[in-house]
Amino acid sequence: MSVAVENRAELSQELSDFIEAWRDTPGNLIMVLHKTQEEYGYVAEPVAREVARRLGVPEAQVFGVLTFYNYFNLEPPGKYRVAVCMGTACYLKGGGGILEDLSEYLNAPVNGVTEDMQFSLQAVRCIGCCGLAPAVLLDGEVVGKLTKEKMRDTLKPYLKDGQEA
């Protein structure tokens, strides 16, 4: 009978030290996952499993948090993140149409990444800018009072070689 050896992700010393510092603190999982995503840009499955092991929590708990909160990414993100607000005000003022148009324009699935890894396109619940509806976060910057045309114009500087998507 053979014994399987567990594959473990190697974590940076900085992340390892952070986990160690937070290990016995109540509510540590969210903080550790934020730090993990900050370091890697997303939380890969093997890394999530290693975080669970080091914190002494069930993997299901780690993956439950990762999949519940929209903030966390389980796949590598695009170079630029486009988060379309789908909160009530934005939705009622055309956020759904902006999202559909962006998906087509960028050739990216909603909550996915373009083939060239340039853009992540996400539908998010609310970005707290209801007075600017419809609005998006483009690489962390709010762009509001959008139309499809304004959104496309805003994206042009982010496109490779100034080409249309």
Express each pLDDT in 142-155 by its tens digit. Answer: 999 999 999 999 99
- Residue 132 contacts by C-beta under 8 Å, 6 or more apart in sequence? 142, 144, 145
Q: 93 with 144, same domain?
A: yes
Asked if residue 91 and residue 22 are part of one domain, the reply reads no
Residue 58 belongs to domain spanning: 13-68
91 plus 53 within the same structural domain: no
- Decide if pLDDT at 50 tops 70: yes
The domain total for the chain is: 2
Assess whether pLDDT exceeds 70 at residue 89.
Answer: yes
119 within domain boundaries: yes
Residue 124, beta-bridge partner list:
85
